[in-house]
Structure 1
Amino acid sequence: MINEDIKRVCVEKCSGNLKLVTSDIQKDIVSACAIGTTNSIIKDLGDSLFAILVDEACDVSNKEQMTVVIRYVDKLGHVVERLLALVGVAKKNMNISDLFFLVTNVVNVVRGSCKRHDILQEIQLAKIKETLENGELSNGQGLNQNTTLKRGGGGDTRWSSHYRTLVSLEYMFSSILDVLDLIVKDMKLSSDQRHEAHNLLKSLQTFEFAFSLHLMISLLGITNELLQALQRKDQVIVNAMTLLDDISSFCAKHDIEVPSLVDTYVVPGRVRRHVEKRTVLHHFQVELFFQVIDLQLQELNSRFSEANTKLLLCVACLNPSDSFYAFDKEKLIRLSKFYLKEFSEVQYSTKELDNQLETYILDMRSNTHFVNLKGIRDVAEKMVEKGKHALYPLVYKLITLILILPVATATVERAFSAMKILKNRLRNRMSDQFMVDCLIPYVEK
């Protein structure tokens, strides 16, 4: 199909000249490849059930891009994820928003040139060498590896990228201050550049920044654990109670003044007579610490509702480990009620699904072909291989619905990686449609 589309384009556009060097012809050929690839995906999908994964990221020209991926189970029982399209698309706590704004500016200034980046590396290497000689650091395989100040991700939801940026900034904090100080003293630079570096240097050496930095490092560092244990809200508080000690030692190390917690908090840049008086402790505890934790918990609760939690508990019943030890017929019947259109009373009765599940589990536990399966995906593939999908159609449909749940975004991230290769700094004016046409066959090769 793809070859036919390319041949048609060549015949229509070339008019006897087969050099294929003009940009219009090349774009038409790429478009034909994209159309052929998309048609092939649609044909493979057929009338199967599918799920959609959507994510966003910034391209090299700082334009927000959205990738759409479909996830389905093919005729052989394999879980497939396919890229469909990439199109252009257009922090609630003010203190944390200010933190990330400041961090972004620091990264841009310090990494603004190869020279500054090299200076940062040299200073950091010298400090590591000094601490090793003083016995303050341990030396060994995998320790004290060369690091750099990492850039954050393109969107607010890319917290893992933000976390790496904050960790690298904390680790190289002293070296970053030295680089900013060198910029301030460099008379060859413009006054605007030196003034910007001076303001950044002043903002970094405040208790407000130190507190916000360590708060977000602490919270983002345990986000993955929170996703797996949403009900353990006290875990956040317990782990974060050591935050103040970490901040105090950080401030002492870098000569940052630590305010008294009983003093009146002064809001920077605000007219003081219009501001309600509160203590430093109240500001950092209530307006920062508690508020950020509440925002994170609200976000997690919105992503994992009570219905979602029940759904995941039912899904676990299909796990084949230990001879289908987790199998629970009642929960699986309850699971089918989440999919009213696929298991409507008009098409199937609960009794029919009940009977199939009863026979299915006896068959699975007594059949040597289904021993030592590692996951639900393996169950689906083995059922198709042995013809069991036709014998237990309702059970297989239930397994198919579970397998297409969008629980991972590897294909989405692969699309973003491809985007960075295709649309680089030398091709940052590439149109959205041309990028789509290039990405689809590139990712689906």
Structure 2
Amino acid sequence: MGVVLRYVNKHGCVIERFLAIVHVSDTSAISLKKAIDELFAKHKLSLSRLRGQGYDEASNMQGEYNGLKALILKENSSARYVHCFAHQLQLVVVVVAKSNRIVSDFFQYVTMIVNITGASCKRKDKFRQLEHDKLVECLEKGYIVSGKGKNQEINLKRPGDTYWGSHYMTIIRLMSMWTSVLQVLENVYDDGTNDDNNGIAASLIDKMESYEFVFMMHLMKSLLGITNELSLALQQKDQNIVLAISLIKTMKVRLQKLRKEGWENLLDVVNKFYSNHMIPILNMEENMRTRGRSRHNGQMITNFHHYRVEIFYEVLDTMIQEMNNRFSELSTEVLTCIACLDPKDSFPQFNIGEFSIIEDLGSLAKKMVETGKNTVFSLVYRLIELTLILPVVIASVERVFSAMKIIKTDLRNRMGDEWMNDSLVVYIEKDIFATIENEQILQHFQQMNTRRIQLPPLVCMSGSGTSSSIKK
């Protein structure tokens, strides 16, 4: 279990520090609570002074009655729980992808395209050569310019099931490498050595050249682009819950605006993509038979109705509804009152000119410390501190587990928990350890009486086919 502390220092700055990796016998809420108690006792921290706790969506963490959240709240009712905003945002996208059949099919086909394109070294080499030739042609025609760090080689990014931000990058690269991907699939089809691969390649080519696939690709690019921007903004270490609430509200406004005004622009972009790749554009006024309806009842709808109502509106409505459901705490009384502290409207209670240029709560806390107003308005500053320490996302903890792959390698696979924890502290909090001089470290170890003495150097000598070591 990774533990990260979030607090406001004496200068009014929000700080997140990695505390420790704790070995637990099991992942039950009781075991996790016991481990936290022991860790707090070891570092002389009091659970009664805890004011916020944040986890992901796992039941053993955020369970209403028996989760770790509930166990801590029973002991300290002031340790307010905040569900990780980034995880909630990801759940919104997951629900949209799973509840809508067309969206679900689209992502399944995208995964198949990426997999079959890079299934062998031969296909990877062909794909790389096609992209290289296209890059050289663009440079010769002056469409792009060369320079240091530009035009780096990239490949199709495989989407991850647990990280939906990767799907956005996959779509971006698929659109930019469209012709190369189609060429590789055509080569697989023309190869003729494997009937299964031939059939899959043929169906994927037909799918990629269908209007529905291209339409979904551009629609999901727009939606995932909005969620990806928000996800990256939420993962900043100094992010506070007031600004996070503002970002969520901004995203809801953007989704509503996209639903109201984005149809025409999306249609133009899709049609332009088709024209650039010399594919016939779909006539929106033509009728189409909807899937799942009887062929005998003769019910027909236009392409316009299908794409605008059954796809565009339905997907956006589902996402907007899920945003309102998942972020229901935005309307709670506590967070609504906290949001009133935001100095965006010049915070008239202070009525001081130097506070008028402050735009966020973190800057307000720093300015109060600088001007000494944190002692004059001590209760207001206490509320601001509470707002700043409430966890927004658990990105810092996720980064701890990512760092474990760097510290505990195949060559260090037998390192103990204490050694791994100490190594992680040095690696993660490198900004602190960078301020420590090497001489201080040397003196510290030299003053430790329990250390072994330095061994004298050895000189190796060889002769007449043998070798020996003697002390200098």
Matched, 1:96 2:103: yes
- What's the RMSD between the two structures over aligned residues? 4.9
Aligned counterpart, 1:179: 184
Aligned counterpart, 1:122: 129
CA contact (8 A) 1:206 1:257 kept: no
Deviations 1:15-70 (A, max 9, x none): xxxxxxxxxxxxxx9669x998873346435312343333379xxxxxx9999999
CA contact (8 A) 1:69 1:412 kept: no
CA contact (8 A) 1:318 1:326 kept: no
The separation in 1 between residues aligned to 2:37 and 2:363, in whole angstroms, is 25
Match of 1:272, SS? coil
Matches within 5 A, 1:77-116: 91=97, 92-116=99-123
Paired AA for residue 346 in structure 2: A
Matched, 1:398 2:372: no
Q: Alpha-carbon deviation of 1:319?
A: 5.2
CA contact (8 A) 2:106 2:213 kept: yes
- 278-287 or 397-406: bigger deviation: 397-406
Q: Alpha-carbon deviation of 1:166?
A: 0.8
The separation in 2 between residues aligned to 1:373 and 1:217, in whole angstroms, is 31
Aligned counterpart, 1:333: none
- 203-212 or 126-135: bigger deviation: 126-135
Question: Of residues 321, 346, 362 in structure 2, which corresponds to 1:326?
Answer: 346
Match of 1:112, SS? coil
CA separation of 1:420 and 1:169: change in aligned 2, threshold 3 A: farther
Matched, 1:379 2:329: no
Paired AA for residue 55 in structure 1: D
Matches within 5 A, 1:25-424: 39-41=38-40, 43-55=44-56, 91=97, 92-139=99-146, 143-155=150-162, 158-188=163-193, 190-223=194-227, 224=229, 227-229=248-250, 230-231=252-253, 233-267=256-290, 272-273=295-296, 276-305=299-328, 307-308=330-331, 314-315=337-338, 317-318=340-341, 326-327=346-347, 375-376=361-362, 379=365, 394-415=379-400, 417-418=402-403
Match of 2:390, SS? coil
Q: Alpha-carbon deviation of 1:289?
A: 0.7
The unaligned stretches of length 5 or more in structure 1 are 1-28, 58-63, 73-80, 84-90, 330-360
Q: Alpha-carbon deviation of 1:154?
A: 2.4
Paired AA for residue 182 in structure 2: L
Match of 1:169, SS? helix
CA contact (8 A) 2:293 2:299 kept: no
The separation in 2 between residues aligned to 1:439 and 1:56, in whole angstroms, is 27
CA separation of 1:280 and 1:372: change in aligned 2, threshold 3 A: closer
The separation in 1 between residues aligned to 2:379 and 2:130, in whole angstroms, is 65
The separation in 2 between residues aligned to 1:99 and 1:116, in whole angstroms, is 23
CA contact (8 A) 1:37 1:444 kept: no
Paired AA for residue 347 in structure 2: F
The separation in 2 between residues aligned to 1:163 and 1:173, in whole angstroms, is 15
Q: Alpha-carbon deviation of 1:213?
A: 0.5
CA separation of 1:289 and 1:398: change in aligned 2, threshold 3 A: same
Deviations 1:236-255 (A, max 9, x none): 54344211111112122334
Paired AA for residue 198 in structure 1: A
Task: Count the aligned residue pairs.
Answer: 345
CA separation of 1:165 and 1:440: change in aligned 2, threshold 3 A: farther
CA separation of 1:149 and 1:264: change in aligned 2, threshold 3 A: same
Deviations 1:44-99 (A, max 9, x none): 35312343333379xxxxxx9999999x9xxxxxxxx9x9xxxxxxx221111111
Deviations 1:400-428 (A, max 9, x none): 4312333234214314524666899x89x
CA separation of 1:261 and 1:108: change in aligned 2, threshold 3 A: same
- 161-170 or 301-310: bigger deviation: 301-310
Aligned counterpart, 2:240: none
Q: Alpha-carbon deviation of 1:276?
A: 3.6
Paired AA for residue 147 in structure 1: I
CA contact (8 A) 1:177 1:201 kept: yes
Paired AA for residue 291 in structure 1: E
Match of 2:53, SS? strand
CA contact (8 A) 2:365 2:381 kept: no
Paired AA for residue 154 in structure 1: D
TM-score for the superposition, normalised by structure 2 = 0.58
Q: Alpha-carbon deviation of 1:118?
A: 3.3
Q: Alpha-carbon deviation of 1:219?
A: 2.4
CA separation of 1:298 and 1:36: change in aligned 2, threshold 3 A: closer
Q: Alpha-carbon deviation of 1:214?
A: 0.7
The separation in 2 between residues aligned to 1:255 and 1:393, in whole angstroms, is 68
Deviations 1:153-207 (A, max 9, x none): 323xx4432211111111111111111122223345x332332222222211111
CA contact (8 A) 1:319 1:376 kept: no
The separation in 2 between residues aligned to 1:275 and 1:422, in whole angstroms, is 65
CA contact (8 A) 2:185 2:201 kept: yes
Paired AA for residue 100 in structure 1: F
